[in-house]
Amino acid sequence: MKKAIPGSYSNGLIQPFVNYNFPSGVYLTSAPVLTVNWKAASGQQWTVPLGGGIGKIFHLGKLPVNTQVAAYYNVVKPDY
């Protein structure tokens, strides 16, 4: 494992997202958060989740309410 210089870091974050909306207010979504630590050892740098969810937008009176359930699994992750 590479030794980091105290107080230094080299991290990154990527969050792509997709939504598919149905006319009824139901939608499918995926918004995984990929992270990288460039100073970690080779093969230990990335965390890559895979998954998605379903949601529905509805109204309580005049108030719009957004509900959602989603699940992700890290298909790539450091060993530690």
Of 1, 79, 80, nearest in space to 40 by CA: 1
Dump pLDDT digits (tens) for 45-76.
999 999 999 999 999 999 999 999 999 999 99
pTM of the predicted model, to two decimals?
0.79
Of 6, 57, 11, 61, nearest in space to 37 by CA: 11
Dump pLDDT digits (tens) for 24-53.
999 999 999 999 999 999 999 999 999 999
User: Do residues 8 and 38 lie in contact, with contact meaning Cβ atoms separated by under 8 Å?
Assistant: no
